[in-house]
Amino acid sequence: MMIEPAIDKLSDKVGNKYKLTTLVSKRAKQIQKRNIREEYTPTVKEITEAANEVYEGKLIAEED
């Protein structure tokens, strides 16, 4: 279960929970592939890193 950043705060930044889920899961998969390719062992889970990118404004959802 993810506590920080809060799901409600993230969903406000993206627009809705469906869009948030899609955005974060796609980015987490990219991060996971990068970590495998570079043989890097992350200190946080990929999904947490992706969620933090959304919260910090580094990852923005496209408009419909």
Answer whether 46's CB lies under 8 Å from 31's CB.
yes
Domain count, the chain: 1
Residue 60 belongs to a domain: no
pLDDT number for residue 25 = 96
Quick one: pLDDT at residue 1? 55
Decide which of 1 and 59 is more confident: 59
Rounded Cα distance between 21 and 30, Å, is 14
Instruction: Give a yes or no: residue 62 inside a domain.
Output: no
Among 5, 7, 14, 25, which Cα is nearest to 61's? 14
Residues in the chain: 64
Domain assignment present for residue 1? The answer is no
Classify residue 63: in a domain, yes or no. no
The 10 Å Cβ neighbour count of residue 3 is: 6
Domain that holds residue 47: 7-55
Does residue 11 form part of some domain? Answer: yes
For 16-48, the pLDDT digits (tens) are 999 999 999 999 999 999 999 999 999 999 999
